[in-house]
Amino acid sequence: MALGGPDSLEAVGPFLQDVRGGRPTSPELLREITERYRATGGKSPVPAIMADLVARLEGRLNAAGPSRFRVYFGFRHWHPFIRETYREIVKDGVRRLVGVCMAPQNSQLSVGAYVKKVEEARAESDATMRFTYVPSWNTHPALIRGIVANIRAALGKFPADARDRTALIFTAHSLPERVLKDGDPYPDQVRATVEAVLAALGPLSPAAAWRFAYQSQGRTDEQWLGPTVEATLDELHGAGCRHVLMAPIGFLSDHLEVLYDIDIEFAKRAREKGMQLERIAMLNATPPIVETVADVVAAHLAETGV
C-alpha cells in the first residue's frame, strides 16, 4: 500500500480533493501543484513503480517452489484505491492477507491510515479473510544496505576533493507536532533508521557533517515537526559548507516530494547560496527493496501463522 499519485495532469484536481478529504482545493493551490507535476514529468511515477515492484516481489516470493503468493497494490488516494484492490482480492478467493505499507517508519498518520482503509473495505465485504499487517521495517538490514550503497554512489557526483567535506542531510516527511503528545513511534523510528545507516556507513571524515531535517511540512495552522530542510541548509551554509548530499530515508520511491521538493526547490535554494546539492537515488523497485519486503513478509507469516 502507498499514498498513490495522479496518472495525468487532469487527475491532479481529483487526487488533491481525495487527499484533502473532499474539501475543495483553491484554484491557486491546484495551479501550483499541477505545475509541480508538469515540471516532474506530467504525472506521478508511483503507479508504474508499484506495478514493477509487485511483479518482482511476487516472483521473489514464489521462487522457491509452487506459487503460493499473489501480490497486489492499492493506494490511499488514487486508483487503484485500497478498497478497489480489496474487492479484487476477494474476487480471487484469497483467504489470508498481509498488508505492507511502503513507509518503513510506523505512524498512526501513515501506516495507521492505510490499515484503516483496509478495515473499511473489509466492513463493506461479507468475505471471510484473515488480515494482519507488518507494522514497521525501518532498520531491516537489506533496506539499510540499499540506502548506504546509494549514498556511496551519490558521493561520486561531487568533485573528488570535496567528498570528504560533503554534508549529509537525512530527511523524512514531517508530521504535525501533536504526534509527540500522542506517543507516536514515528520520530523514534526515523531516528533509528538514521542511526542504522550511519553505523553501516562507518566513520565520516572529520571535515564532514550530517544533519537530520523534516521536509514537506503541511500548509496548516498547526505546528509541524522540524527542523526544516531550509533552516538546515542555511545553518550549514553559515558554517562554511558548500557541498550537500540529501538522503531522504523516510521515502522509498521517486515522487513529488523527492522530484520537486528536493531536486528543484532545495537544489535552487542551494545554488543561490553557492552550494552544490545532490540527492541519492531512491530504491523504487530495485533488488534491495524487493529483498526487504519479501523478508519482512516471510518473517511476519512465521510469527503470525498462515
Enumerate the domain spans of the chain.
141-279
For the chain, give the percent of residues with pLDDT over 90: 93
pLDDT value at position 206?
85
DSSP states along 166-213: -EEEEEEE--BTHHHHTT-SHHHHHHHHHHHHHHHH-PPPTT-EEEEE
Q: Are 50 and 43 in contact (CB under 8 A)?
A: no
Give residue 164's Cα distance to chain centre.
28
Q: Nearest-CA neighbor of 173 among 101, 221, 210, 224?
A: 224
Q: Are 203 and 185 in contact (CB under 8 A)?
A: no
Q: What's the whole-number mean pLDDT along residues 277-295?
A: 98
Give the contacts of 98 (CB within 8 A, at least 6 positions apart).
131, 132, 133, 134, 297, 300, 301
Q: Angle at Cα 154 formed by Cα 152 and Cα 158, nearest 5°? A: 110
Q: At what angle do helices 141-154 and 287-304 cross, to 10 degrees?
A: 170
Report the top-level CATH class of 141-279: alpha beta
At residue 65 the predicted structure's pLDDT band, cuts being 50, 70 and 90, is confident
Q: Angle at Cα 32 formed by Cα 26 and Cα 36, nearest 5°? A: 145
For the chain, give the percent of residues with pLDDT over 70: 100
Say yes or no to pLDDT of 306 above 80: no
DSSP 109: T
At residue 86 the predicted structure's pLDDT band, cuts being 50, 70 and 90, is very high
At residue 271 the predicted structure's pLDDT band, cuts being 50, 70 and 90, is very high
For 147-193, the pLDDT digits (tens) are: 999 999 999 999 999 999 999 999 999 999 999 998 999 999 999 99
Q: What is the pTM of this model?
A: 0.96
For 124-139, the pLDDT digits (tens) are: 999 999 999 999 999 9
* Segment holding 245, helix H or strand E: strand 243-247
- Whether the bond between 159 and the residue before it is cis, its omega within 30 degrees of 0, is no
